[in-house]
Amino acid sequence: MYGKAKHVVKSSLFILSFVNLCLGWTLPPVQFLSEFVKGNDRTQISISVPFGIPSMKMYFRQLTRSVCTKWFGHIKSKGKLFRENEIPASFKFSGEDVVENRTTLKNPQDLIVFIPDESDIDSHIEKFIGWFYHRKRNNKEYWLLDITSLNTKARSRLDNLKLDLDDDLFWFAYSNEGIELFEVYRIHDDFGITVKPYGSWTADNGLTSPMYGKWIRRKNMQGAKLKVVTELQKPYITEMIPTGSPGEFEMKGMYAEVFLALQYILNFTFTVTKPPDGQWGGLQSDGTWTGMIRELQDERADIGNTDKGLSNTCIIHAYFLFSYNFFCCLSSQKSSCYIFRNHH
């Protein structure tokens, strides 16, 4: 039975290659997407293709029945009832210049697959970049982009993608053996994009993926220079000593010790400044912010640190308005909140 299944997959790969010669683009093997979805805990799939083809109905049927969801007995999506061994999937046609296509994301557990047309690769990559830019700051979906047919111009355009260290963008390319996978992210605004081998897929061996988790793979920040904004706040920051560089300080205290340890582990450097207005940050009647939050909002700082000077209400407002990432350390008497700017 297993041998028969492998034969079917190999036959499908041959058919897909033939279709690519005729159309200029290829639908990814169903088994590849199925294994990627299960391996990354995705619950929905949205596939962008240049246009519809007659075989798409059968492909859709195979795809929805090939993925087992963990959480739901039944999932209702777009008027269809999916059984326990199915997953909601949809197609979008990138050849149609429709505004709705930009809003492909409905669920943080989505997998978005983008298949460009080789015959018009430049415009399709531009369309992908446009859709990718329309993400909200707190979107945590996964993206799969077929780069098999990319030319030099299209590849260089992808170098300017707005990416963060925590983004989940993957490129894949067809090879003689199967499919090669790469993960793509940006360590910091001052760096180019990082493209690393992520794994591979073959009909014989299935999907192979990294042994270590994302934050182990990406923990080396390669000396990125981070900008920290804070104020004196005992016992977290007991001293702020001018360094000699205009507006920069050396900090002492618990917060400084934590940061120095992280600097060693994650391989980054940092400078410390104070908010120009001396405030932690408050939401104004005109919708703007003051203090430390304003420095983060205007991208003059990457990380802010505060204790009771910023109320829980302000922190919640800042999160929902700007979608910053938060890490909070709590003690019995005080709390200190570290706010990390989301770069896209």
Strands 89-93 and 44-49: parallel
pLDDT in tens, 131-167: 888 877 667 789 999 999 888 888 899 998 888 888 9
CA distance 25 to 94: 12
How much is the mean pLDDT over the chain? 75
Which residue has better confidence, 48 or 312? 48
Domain boundary among 189, 217, 245: 217
Are 272 and 148 part of one and the same domain?
Answer: no
- The lowest-confidence range among 4-13, 256-265, 322-331 is 322-331
Are 39 and 69 part of one and the same domain?
Answer: yes
CATH at residue 329: 3.40.190.10
Are 52 and 141 part of one and the same domain?
Answer: yes
Are 201 and 84 part of one and the same domain?
Answer: yes
Average pLDDT value for residue range 16-44: 74
Two tokens, residue 220: 């080396």
Are 197 and 299 part of one and the same domain?
Answer: no
Are 111 and 160 part of one and the same domain?
Answer: yes
Instruction: Domain of residue 57: give its range.
Output: 2-217
DSSP letter assigned to residue 151: -
Identify the CA nearest to 170 among candidates 126, 113, 97, 226.
Answer: 113
Contact 252, 297 (CB under 8 A): no
Are 200 and 152 part of one and the same domain?
Answer: yes
pLDDT in tens, 213-252: 898 999 999 999 999 998 888 888 899 999 989 999 999 9
CA distance 339 to 255: 13
Model confidence at 344: pLDDT above 80: no
Are 238 and 197 part of one and the same domain?
Answer: no
Domain boundary among 217, 241, 260: 217
Are 49 and 194 part of one and the same domain?
Answer: yes
If one counts the domains in the chain, the total is 2
Which residue has better confidence, 274 or 340? 274
pLDDT in tens, 173-189: 999 999 999 999 999 88
pLDDT at 299: 83
CATH at residue 198: 3.40.50.2300
Are 40 and 118 part of one and the same domain?
Answer: yes
Domain boundary among 186, 217, 248: 217
Contact 173, 144 (CB under 8 A): no
Average pLDDT value for residue range 81-92: 55
pLDDT band at 284 (very low <50, low <70, confident <90, very high): confident
Amino acid present at 253: G
Are 61 and 175 part of one and the same domain?
Answer: yes
Are 210 and 114 part of one and the same domain?
Answer: yes
DSSP letter assigned to residue 119: G
pLDDT in tens, 271-281: 999 999 988 87
* Cis preceding linkage at 235, omega within 30: yes
List, in sequence order, every beta strand (DSSP E) within the chain. Answer: 44-49, 75-77, 80-82, 89-93, 110-114, 142-146, 169-174, 179-186, 193-202, 206-208, 224-229, 239-242, 249-252, 268-273, 303-306, 325-330, 335-340
pLDDT at 4: 47
pLDDT at 103: 41
